[in-house]
Amino acid sequence: MGKPVIGVMPQYNEKDTRLMIGADFFGAIAKAGGIPVLLPLFSSVEDVEEILDRFDGFLYPGGPDINPLIFGEDAHLQCGNIIPARDTLELVLLSAILRLKKPVFGICRGIQVMNVALGGTLYQDISAQTATAHKNIGHYQKAGDAVLTHSVYVEKGTLLYEIVGKERLFVNSFHHQSCKELGEGMVVNATAADGVVEAAALKHHKFFLGVQWHPEHLYEISEDMAKIWNAFVGNCKSR
């Protein structure tokens, strides 16, 4: 059996209309035994069906905020940049991924897209909209990408616990939004000390996991993060 090919959603620089992706995403997939390939941003419905046939799994990376109109809200004052092309492609493709139950791993924005696709909602700004914001967990750290800055607490009996085998992880953090109401079938896998959802997975799906932190920066220094990448790519291999 050959290596699994992982479709990676592109990040997009509007200023110079450039598709891009952080090298760490590709490094993490490659080290776990997969072949990462950057997907096109502007795709037709017919293209999406072709994409599904050619890839064994999909990675949804971080990026700008999702348009809150998609989950039934007007934009909050603290809502950030929105790129409609990403919203469109990621949601259309995710609907098809769910139909075929292909493995998908979401990071930061990724977990939020996964949640919204299943009918969930988001806190458009954690500090402004959550009752526990006074606990002052640093969800958008000033430290470097690979610096661990806060704890997340993993729920026993969940997919994440099955992967890492422990109830507490140390993570980095670069987000101002998070899941609010969970979408249909989504189950909390981990939370921060202030109750913010840090990981969630879909019931009855072999691998549909999203995390709010950035394990692509940590796979070389954290055994726990390497386990998550290995589990994702490993599930793509077994298809």
What are the residue numbers of the active site? 108, 214, 216
Which residues, 6 or more positions from 172, have their beta carbon under 8 angstroms from its beta carbon? Answer: 141, 143, 145, 146, 147, 148, 149, 213, 214, 217, 218
Strands 168-171 and 57-60, how do they pair?
A: unpaired
Q: Is the dihedral of CA 67, 68, 72, 76 positive or negative?
A: negative
C-alpha distances (whole Å) from 137 to each of 7, 132, 149, 210, 234 are 33, 9, 9, 20, 33
Distance CA 130, CA 125 (A): 8
Give first-to-last CA distance, the chain, whole Å.
10
